[in-house]
Amino acid sequence: MAPMPLKRPSTPSQNLTLAGASEARGLVRDAMRATLASPSLSPPPGEQILPAELRFGPAMDGFAVDGAASRILCCEEVDGRRWSYVAEMEPSGKVRRGSSVKAVPMQNPGPPIDELVSFIRSYVVPEGFPDSVTPSYVPYMTWRALKHFFGGAMGVFTTQTLLNSVGVSRNHAMPGAVAINWILKDGAGRVGKMLFARQGKKFDYDLKQLRFAGDLLMELGAGVELATAAVPHLFLPLACAANVAKNVAAVTSTSTRTPIYKAYARGENIGDVTAKGESVGNIADLLGTGLSILISKRNPSLVVSFAFLSCGYVFSSYREVKSVVLNTLNRARFTVAVESFLKSGHVPSLKEGNSNENIFTPPWSNRTPIVLGPRFGDAFQEPGSFLAIEPMFENQRYIVTYNPAKGNIYALFKDEAKSDDILKATFHAHVLLHCIRSSNMNGSSKKYNYSRSNQSAMGESLSNRLMPLTKTLEDHILESCEIVSSSYGDFKEKTAQQGWIMSESLLNPGRARLCGLTQP
């Protein structure tokens, strides 16, 4: 039975809708009807087509899902694939009580071969290939891969030959077995290095965090290698695990080396800075090797020596990373800058901001609960919350909300969001987080004025987990909108004065974008 057309009741949010917004929704509705009518979206033979009428926002009624009258809240596109989020409606035109948001795919799933090709491309080519690289990239990587192929094959013979020359055993079968174990160990390390290289873009926006994590991983690999002395019969699995860890650490060190040297280079002298830095590192490595040779002749305790040297290595690594001063704002430094601005009205200097940046976050601790560019279904689990706050962001290219069930702040981007919109949405998310926490800590509903005259800092630092709301979500979002509209321009001006460079690419937003919503 075809769903009955629902009469659309007038709501306060509809009365706030501008005439221009209604015309835009009409254009989007016509485009979606044409899209669903295309042959590429026709269902397989034998499946029944449910009557559907696609509209967006308050002007969208009469869409049937599973035999129930529903209303499309919005559409979402991720990597070229589209979903529509719908909510079940009552005959009176209100959202059905207890209903949840449903995601309905708007396209048939692609063939498996396309999924396989996409998976392989994510490992072997950069994001945005071929537009993200120069034309000479393909022949260079082809010859490089061929060279490594022959080098790896030749390594099997050279390793076995060296072991035979040293005289591992008088048994003719033993050298071959040892060579195979050694080659498997090295092969496992190369596989780990290749798989971790997929995270290449993270070396740009979490440079210092990954550098320190790589050094910790290097020490872990060294510890596992030492453990082979206690259980020699487990040499192969332990050596493989250690080599994987050390190769991943090597990728991290190599990938973050040039950006760090570039931060210190003044002018076109990056090559000289890199060469001198590597020279100093090699001299220190030779001195450490010579000292350890002298100490090893006295047969010291292996555990005590490793513990002492490991602590010195980790501490030196932490201080090394903390001393790096970058002028770009990634998520960690953006958080430092915004929190300082909201508390005191000042943006920290480059040295102060880098010094206060969080370098290491233990796996068991909670990270700052701000998610950029999430899926619609993660941010909204009930239709009412979306319909209540949508009018507040009608003139913005983003939507910021709080999901109490997950304890996170979500910043969703519309399909026309630009670089400054992503930066503003991130700033807005921090403001909303600050408003919610401040309201709960102070136990009042006062609004905060973040002008130059307000220089009083809060007595308590922000915790890592949101507390229960003392005001409604709409009140907090409305308060944050007022703060953002009056203070975002001042924040941008002060960050520029301090020498910071704001770029949305270092914030690593998700790729999901809301489509079909009215744009300003």
User: Which ranges of 197-234 would DSSP assign to H, the alpha helix?
Assistant: 202-205, 207-227
Distances (CA, A) of 320 to 245, 261, 284, 312, 313: 21, 13, 14, 12, 10
Residue among 46, 6, 45, 34 at smallest CA distance from 106: 34
Q: Please state which of the ranges 18-27, 60-69, 197-206, 499-508 shows the lowest mean pLDDT.
A: 18-27
* Mean of pLDDT values over 318-338: 90
Question: What DSSP string describes 404-438?
Answer: TTTTEEEEEEBTT--HHHHHHHHHHHHHHHHHHHH
Q: What is the pLDDT of residue 364?
A: 56
For residue 132, give the DSSP letter.
Answer: T
Cβ-contact 408, 370 below 8 angstroms: yes
Higher-confidence residue of 261 and 432: namely: 432
Residue among 56, 69, 3, 58 at smallest CA distance from 30: 56
Whether 70 shows a pLDDT value over 80: the answer reads no
* Mean of pLDDT values over 72-91: 82
Confidence label for 260 from pLDDT (cuts 50, 70 and 90): confident
Whether 463 shows a pLDDT value over 70: the answer reads no
Q: Please state which of the ranges 17-21, 225-229, 394-398 shows the lowest mean pLDDT.
A: 17-21
Q: Please state which of the ranges 29-43, 66-80, 480-494 shows the lowest mean pLDDT.
A: 29-43
pTM: 0.69
* CA pair distance 421, 203, nearest whole angstrom: 24
Give the mean pLDDT of the chain: 74
Residues 282-294: tens digit of each pLDDT? 888 888 888 888 8
Q: What is the pLDDT of residue 58?
A: 43
Quick one: angle between helices 137-166 and 173-196, nearest 10?
A: 150
Residues 451-460: tens digit of each pLDDT? 333 333 333 3
* Mean of pLDDT values over 336-357: 93
* CA pair distance 391, 57, nearest whole angstrom: 10
Residues 129-186: tens digit of each pLDDT? 777 776 766 787 778 777 767 776 666 655 555 455 544 444 444 555 556 666 666 6
Cβ-contact 334, 426 below 8 angstroms: yes
Residue among 88, 77, 84 at smallest CA distance from 106: 84
Q: Cβ of 489: how many Cβ atoms within 10 Å?
A: 11
Residue among 140, 143, 246, 138 at smallest CA distance from 191: 246
Higher-confidence residue of 9 and 96: namely: 96
Q: Which two tokens stand for residue 282?
A: 């090699």
Residue among 56, 50, 108, 57 at smallest CA distance from 81: 108
Q: What is the pLDDT of residue 402?
A: 92
Q: What is the pLDDT of residue 286?
A: 80
Which residue reads 């590597």 in tokens?
A: 278
Confidence label for 279 from pLDDT (cuts 50, 70 and 90): confident
Whether 56 shows a pLDDT value over 60: the answer reads no
Q: What is the pLDDT of residue 333?
A: 93
Distances (CA, A) of 162 to 19, 190, 240, 462: 81, 21, 20, 59
Confidence label for 30 from pLDDT (cuts 50, 70 and 90): low
Q: Which two tokens stand for residue 174?
A: 């033993």
Q: What is the pLDDT of residue 504?
A: 79
Instruction: Please classify residue 231 by burial: count the beta carbons closer than 10 Å to its beta carbon, then call 0-12 exposed, 13-18 middle and 19+ buried.
Output: exposed
* CA pair distance 31, 431, nearest whole angstrom: 36
Cβ-contact 386, 73 below 8 angstroms: yes
Residues 389-414: tens digit of each pLDDT? 999 998 999 999 998 888 899 999 99
Q: Of 23-32, 113-122, 272-281, 468-477, where does the model show the most confidence?
A: 272-281
Residues 434-443: tens digit of each pLDDT? 988 887 666 5
Alpha-carbon torsion, ordered 512, 513, 514, 517, to 10 deg: 180
Q: What is the pLDDT of residue 179?
A: 61
- Bridge-based pairing of strands 63-65 and 68-78 is antiparallel
Q: What is the pLDDT of residue 180?
A: 62
Cα torsion angle, 83, 87, 91, 93, sign = negative
Q: What is the pLDDT of residue 469?
A: 44
User: 3-state class of 167 per DSSP?
Assistant: coil
* CA pair distance 520, 517, nearest whole angstrom: 10
Q: Cβ of 159: how many Cβ atoms within 10 Å?
A: 17
Residue among 192, 184, 284, 290 at smallest CA distance from 237: 184
For residue 318, give the DSSP letter.
Answer: H
* Mean of pLDDT values over 309-337: 90
Q: Which residues pair with 515 in a beta bridge?
A: 75
HEC assignment per residue over 504-515 = HHHHCCCCCEEE
Higher-confidence residue of 502 and 15: namely: 502
Amino acid at 17: T
Q: Which two tokens stand for residue 446?
A: 């006062």
Q: Please state which of the ranges 67-76, 378-387, 390-399 shows the lowest mean pLDDT.
A: 67-76
